[in-house]
Amino acid sequence: MSVRTVVTLDGPAGVGKSTVARIVAETLGYSYLDTGAIYRTLALQLGEGADSLPDRELRERCRAFTFRLEGSGGNTRLVANGVPVGDEIRNETVGGMAARLAVVPVVREHLQKVQRLLGEAVSLVAEGRDMGSKVFPGARHKFFLDAAPEVRAERRYKELLARGEPAVLTDLAEQVRRRDAIDRTRTVDPLLPAPDAVIIDTSRMSIEAVVNLVLHAVSRPSAPVGAGAGHGCA
């Protein structure tokens, strides 16, 4: 059996890691694992206040959800309980719920197992906040993308306007700082680069430049493992 390759891209929101990860996965023929989508999906399904539930109840409710990946590269889809996940998870309200849920130890422990199972048999590009430092510490290639908070807020502002959604730049900047404070200072798996990660400041870099840097650093296997395969776990 061929040895799988895992490329991890970690970093805060707004650094371009989702776009970079999709393009890199597409180029390499690997599956794309968007771990933030898993947290957002769970947060939306469990509802507001789930982070305050007793550990035992929260653990049981988490176990009621199954996740799998379909396809590869930019066409990889996350499927939760048999239903493809869509744009319903891509708003600031769900993002805030996911951030609060992500600091709960029982949730992180459960979803880290989910993520490892999703990637245990395939080559993939895993994008999130603790992929290289916690979920895939043995990954062959690790990257940590970062950018100034005001740059990330402006990127989000332009993204929302392009989608026809109302947005206030000052409010988004405050949300970025608040999310950073939660992610970087939490006691459970704080947002930080893995010791052997390549750190990339994307503040003044185009997506193309970041993608090229990542691809240059990754040794391309001659035959990607598991491209196009479906993967799932309970």
Output 178-184 pairs: Cβ under 8 A, ≥24 positions apart: 179/12, 179/13, 179/95, 179/96, 179/99, 180/12, 180/149, 182/99, 182/100, 182/103, 183/12, 183/99, 183/102, 183/129, 184/12
**CA distance linking residue 206 with residue 222, whole number of Å:** 28
Q: Are 100 and 46 in contact (CB under 8 A)?
A: no
| CATH number attached to the domain at 6-225 | 3.40.50.300
Question: So where are the chain's domains?
Answer: 6-225
What does the mean pLDDT of the chain come to? Answer: 88
Per-residue confidence band for 123, with pLDDT thresholds at 50, 70 and 90: confident
**What number is the average pLDDT over the span 32-56?**
95
Specify the pLDDT at position 220: 52
Q: Are 207 and 24 in contact (CB under 8 A)?
A: no
Concatenated DSSP letters for 154-203? HHHHHHHHHTT----HHHHHHHHHHHHHHHHH-SSS-S---TTPEEEE-T
Q: Is 25 helix (H, G, I), strand (E, B) or coil?
A: helix
Specify the pLDDT at position 227: 33
Specify the pLDDT at position 104: 93
Specify the pLDDT at position 13: 85
Over the stretch 60-105, which tens digit does the pLDDT of each residue have? 999 999 999 988 998 999 999 999 999 999 888 998 899 899 889 9
Specify the pLDDT at position 219: 66
Q: Please report, as a single letter, which amino acid is at residue 58.
A: L
Select from 82, 133, 103, 119 the least CA-distant residue to 39.
103
Model pTM score: 0.81
**CA distance linking residue 175 with residue 227, whole number of Å:** 37
Q: Are 215 and 27 in contact (CB under 8 A)?
A: yes
Per-residue confidence band for 228, with pLDDT thresholds at 50, 70 and 90: very low
Specify the pLDDT at position 3: 55
The distance of Cα 21 from the centroid of its chain, to the nearest Å, equals 9
**CA distance linking residue 189 with residue 122, whole number of Å:** 25
Select from 177, 217, 220 the least CA-distant residue to 200.
217
